[in-house]
A and B are shown apart, each in its own frame.
Chain A
Amino acid sequence: MNSILECSQIAKKFGRSEAIRNATTAFEEGAVHGLLGANGAGKTTLLHILSGLIYPSQGQVLYDGQQVHDNPAVTPNICLVKSDERSWADYKVKDLIKYCSLLLPYWDEKFAVELLRKFRLPGNKKYKHLSRGMQSMVGIVKGLASRAPLTLFDEPTLGLDADMRETFYELMISDCGERQRTMILSTHQIDESANLFQYITLLEQGVVTSHMDKDAFVEQAHYLQGDTSLLLALASDPRVLHEESLAGTTVLVWYGELENQVDLERRGIKIGPVPLQKLFVYLTRKGNLNSEEKYYGNFS
Chain B
Amino acid sequence: METSRKMLRFHWLDNFKPLTVFWSILLLVDIALVVAQRYFPEVLNTSDNFLFSANYGAIAIYLLVCGILMATSSFPLLMSFGIPRQKFYLNLIGTTVLLCAAMSLIQNIVVYVGYSVMQLSGITIEASITPFLLLWYCQWTFYLLDMFLFILLGTVFYRFGTLPGLITIAFYILVLNLVPDDLDFADNFELAASGLSNVTLSHLFLGITVVLIGIGWLLYRRAPVRTY
Taking beta carbons and an 8 Å cutoff, which residues of A are in contact with B? Answer: 44-45, 48, 52-55, 70-72, 75-80, 82, 84-88, 90, 95, 98-100, 102-104, 148
Contacts and interface: CB of A to CB of B under 8 A. Distances in A.
Contact of A79 (B76, B82, B222): B82
B83 A85 contact: no
Interface in B179-216: none
B76 A44 contact: no
A99 B81 CA distance: 9
Contacts of B81: 99-100, 103-104
A18 to B, nearest CB: 15
B86 interface: yes
Given A70-B84, A80-B80, A95-B13, 12 more contacts: A53-B79, A53-B225, A72-B84, A75-B82, A78-B82, A82-B80, A87-B77, A99-B13, A103-B7, A103-B10, A103-B78, A104-B82
A88 B84 contact: no
Interface string B61-97: 0000000000001001111111111110000000000
Contact of A86 (B10, B76, B224): B76
B39 interface: no
24 contacts: A44-B227, A52-B84, A53-B80, A53-B225, A54-B225, A55-B222, A70-B84, A70-B85, A70-B86, A75-B82, A76-B82, A80-B80, A84-B228, A86-B76, A87-B73, A87-B76, A87-B80, A88-B77, A99-B77, A103-B78, A103-B81, A103-B82, A104-B81, A104-B82
Which of A44, A53, A55, A86 has the most chain B CB atoms closer than 10 A to its own CB? Answer: A53
A103 B79 CA distance: 10
A95 B81 CA distance: 14
Contacts of A98: 13
B38 interface: no
Contacts of B227: 44-45, 48, 54, 82
A101 to B, nearest CB: 10
Contacts of B83: 75, 103
Which of A70, A88, A100, A103 has the most chain B CB atoms closer than 10 A to its own CB? Answer: A103
B15 to A, nearest CB: 12
A2 to B, nearest CB: 22
A95 B83 CA distance: 18
B3 A99 contact: no
A102 B6 contact: yes
A155 to B, nearest CB: 12
A148 B80 CA distance: 13
CB-based closest 10 A-B pairs:
A103-B81, A87-B76, A53-B225, A87-B77, A70-B84, A54-B224, A75-B82, A84-B228, A55-B222, A76-B82
